[in-house]
Amino acid sequence: MLGDAEIHALDSNLSSIVQQNQQHHADVQNLLDKFRQLLDNYNNLKSDYEEEKEAREKYKRMARGQERNPFVLVLVDGDGYLFKEHLLKAGADGGITAARILNDSIRELLHDRLGHQADQCRVMVRIYANVLGLSKSLARSGIVGQEARSLSPFTASFTRAEDLFDFVDAGDKKEGADYKIREMFRLFADNSQCRHIFFAGCHDSGYSNLLTPYRGRTDRITLLKAANFHSEYERLGLPVRELPALFMSTPIGGTGSPSNHTPSMSTTSRPICKHFQKGICRYGSSCNKAHIPQGQQLSRSDNTPSPGRESPTSARTQEFYASQLVTHLDPKWQDYIPINLAGDRIDTYCPIPGHDAWELYTRRAKIHKPCNNFHLGGECSNIGCEYDHGRLDPSSLDVMKYILRQHPCQTGPSCRSTKCFLGHLCQKDGCRGLKPCRFNRHAHTLDLQIAKYTPSIKRDTGHSRAPSAEGAFLPDTPEEPQGLIVL
């Protein structure tokens, strides 16, 4: 039998074992709780990771999508930036011409700023104005008719001319255009798809607070200058450019019309700033050279062009070509080519066809493309000609002539072919010979005075690709379906 001491020792050992078992159980339970908590944390982190991964993939898709459709935005306050008088007077045709000039001018500025990336960007234009009030103001100046909203044909054609061009009537409420322009600017100012903004509202100092947060952001914003450029915008550190072939440089009722303004002697005593005429002079009014808008002739004798050539600084508008070029040649000179003193071939005047004429020709071309040789040259020697020889409306014939004149003859002004229907000089309104114009610099500076007629060279007709107007309603952007040209 165990003694009392042994029984006491065994009891102590049993109590110790029970305590150890209880501690072990507690430790295991604690470990299990921590493991369960670790699993919960892992699941939460995994969920967060999946959400973050999905968000990153969505952002990448958005970024790739934004890079696919880059564009530049042109914001214009139409109440302060008025188009040239001859454009407004031309009504619907003037709206189409204004859209073409604006598109070409913006692309020229883009090439200077973005280089080869400019070709990938589309041009979006938003012009906001009080059309009713603007029509009344222009009617009082004799620029448009007296009927209500007489500016509407111009604005409608401008909007119809390009897919992303809109001339919007902001209503007759005060600051209606201002509100629209501010919201459009805020919407696109930080949009990565919008590569650049050309802002044309610098006549109104109220926009300065809108542009102040973007002070010095030359990579994002360019200011366009016209009449009444406010001095506050000069302190923003943003590039300032002009479009002298598009907007009036003086307000209505100001000191003389821009087209009739003659430079003073103090202006003509300085060399002419070519950067200003391109709209890219960075020095503004502090420039040491004379700022002479395109369309103005200098009267100084030291600027007299040499025979057969014209100064490259002189502008050439539709009015200039209409006054300098003959519309038709006398039938007695049908086998002769008119040339100037330098021996350069002089084309007849080819005005921009109206919108109705473009639509009529386009409908005809979609059915069966007309033959250039037959309709323009009077005959087609190709027995198996695939193009239409049927009767053509006179207005459609004018469209054909205009389209071909927009494409330069490879022989240039020395061409003497009586059957050449291509252009030997550029007749685009306000064109400065820069991209995307197809003509070289010399084709913009020819002396247009006919000095004599020289015998032509009759070459055999041939078949080749020629531009046509299929799908094109604008004079400057014809597509190039197949047709026939005689070279």
How does DSSP assign 356-402, residue by residue?
HHHHHHHHHHHHSPBPHHHHHHS----TT--SB-S---HHHHHHHHH
Q: How many other CB atoms sit within 10 Å of the CB of residue 487?
A: 17
289-299 mean pLDDT: 54
Q: Pairing between strand 452-455 and 71-77?
A: unpaired
351-362 mean pLDDT: 84
Quote the pLDDT of residue 459: 54
Quote the pLDDT of residue 81: 92
DSSP, collapsed to helix, strand or coil, labels residue 72 as strand
DSSP state at residue 162: S
CA 298 – CA 439 distance, rounded (Å): 25
With b for 16 or more beta-carbon neighbours within 10 A and e for fewer, the 2-41 pattern comes to eeeeeeeeeeeeeeeeeeeeeeeeeeeeeeeeeeeeeeee
Quote the pLDDT of residue 356: 81
CA 267 – CA 112 distance, rounded (Å): 27
Whole-Å CA distances, 132 to 32, 129, 141, 152, 237: 80, 9, 15, 9, 35
CA 375 – CA 372 distance, rounded (Å): 5
In 173-302, which ranges are continuous DSSP H helix? 176-188, 208-211, 265-268, 274-278
HSE value, Cβ hemisphere, 13 Å, CA-based, for 260? 6
DSSP, collapsed to helix, strand or coil, labels residue 274 as helix
Six-digit token pair at 319? 């009015």
User: CB-based burial of residue 480 (10 Å sphere; 0-12 exposed, 13-18 middle, 19+ buried)?
Assistant: middle
Ranked by mean pLDDT, the top range of 241-245, 316-320, 456-460 is 241-245
pTM: predicted TM-score of the whole model, two decimal places = 0.46
Quote the pLDDT of residue 411: 85
CA 216 – CA 269 distance, rounded (Å): 34
CA 443 – CA 432 distance, rounded (Å): 10
Lookup result for tokens 């400019």: 118
Residue 361 pLDDT exceeds 60: yes
152-158 mean pLDDT: 94
CA 414 – CA 411 distance, rounded (Å): 6
170-176 mean pLDDT: 80
Quote the pLDDT of residue 477: 35
CA 166 – CA 127 distance, rounded (Å): 6
With b for 16 or more beta-carbon neighbours within 10 A and e for fewer, the 137-160 pattern comes to bbbeeebbeeeeebbbbbbebbbb
Q: What percent of the chain has pLDDT over 90?
A: 23
Residue 439 pLDDT exceeds 90: no
Higher pLDDT, 265 or 328: 328
Lookup result for tokens 């044309």: 200
Query: Range with the lowest mean pLDDT among 35-44, 151-160, 198-207, 303-312?
Result: 303-312
Quote the pLDDT of residue 484: 34
CA 17 – CA 39 distance, rounded (Å): 33
Quote the pLDDT of residue 73: 95
Whole-Å CA distances, 152 to 61, 132, 156, 215, 371: 42, 9, 6, 36, 37
Residue 474 pLDDT exceeds 80: no
382 φ/ψ angles, rounded to the nearest 5 degrees: -85, 110
CA 380 – CA 374 distance, rounded (Å): 5
pLDDT-derived band at 198, boundaries 50, 70, 90: very high
Question: Do the beta carbons of residue 110 and residue 196 sit within 8 Å?
Answer: yes
Beta bridge partners of 272: 290
Question: Do the beta carbons of residue 72 and residue 193 sit within 8 Å?
Answer: no
pLDDT-derived band at 350, boundaries 50, 70, 90: confident
